[in-house]
Amino acid sequence: MPESRPINVISAITPQAGKTWPLLRLGLALLTLGAIAWQLSINLSLAMDPVNFFSYFTNLSNLLAASVLLVLTLDELLWQGRLAARPAMQRLRALSILNMLVVGLVFVLLLRHVDLGALRPWINTVLHYVMPCALLLDWWLRPQASGQVLSFSAKSLGLSLAFPLVYLVYTMLRGAATGWYPYPFLRPEQAGGAAAVAAYALGIALSFVAAHALLLGLARWRQAGRGI
């Protein structure tokens, strides 16, 4: 009797389906960019400061994620995945996934019951729910590009924390100068003082570390041949 072999479920559900996967990525990217553009037009019609709009970590992270999806789409359709196989592109993709996971987590834990003001519900759903899940699934179901497996390494943690750290410094300096903060937990008057803001910032930094550890563990699990 021939030896039975375990079925690779991931390979079974993600066949080389030609242009199907790139088109799904393209659709997600256009949906996200359209949602951001729609919300920006609403904010501008209400005479809101466009700099404030682009000072939300959610908007910056979604723009990065949509851009990565667009590049991956063009790369797969035109260049057979050669660009996606480059280390710099893989690091950028990993950063976009990590950012989106934290965006979803922070929204659910800290902002879900906060008044969203002019933010439309469907746009909120796309930016805070759909994209975090989509980026994670895209990585899990489509990890390979020209034989290279997108992964997360312990060495990449510093790079992963650099983006939110720069964002935090910018936000606090600009907030001190203008009196405007994108999130209530970063405004000292609302958060309960500077110590409370520092505690929130530390908690969010730890969420980046935890998300990075989760993705690193999943990547190692996959590489060990025990993926689902």
Q: What is the pLDDT of residues 76-104, one digit of tens each?
A: 888 877 887 788 888 888 889 999 999 99
Q: What is the structure's pLDDT at 1?
A: 45
Residues 48 and 56: their CA atoms lie apart, in Å, by 13
- What residue spans define the domains of the chain? 9-223
Q: What is the structure's pLDDT at 143?
A: 65
Which residues of the chain have a pLDDT value below 50? 1-16, 145-150, 227-228
| Token pair in block for residue 42 | 């609403």
Q: What is the structure's pLDDT at 9?
A: 40
Residues 102 and 61: their CA atoms lie apart, in Å, by 10
- Angle between the N-to-C axes of helices 157-178 and 194-223, in degrees from 0 to 180, rounded to the nearest 10: 160
Please say whether the beta carbons of 106 and 207 come within 8 A: yes
| Phi, psi (rounded to 5 degrees) for 170 | -60, -45
Q: What is the structure's pLDDT at 140?
A: 84
Element (H, E) at 147: none
Residues 22 and 18: their CA atoms lie apart, in Å, by 8
Rg for the chain, CA atoms, rounded: 19
Q: What is the structure's pLDDT at 11?
A: 41
List Cα–Cα distances, 228 to 10, 12, 17, 109, 157, in angstroms.
Answer: 7, 11, 20, 28, 25
List Cα–Cα distances, 69 to 29, 57, 104, 162, in angstroms.
Answer: 6, 18, 18, 22
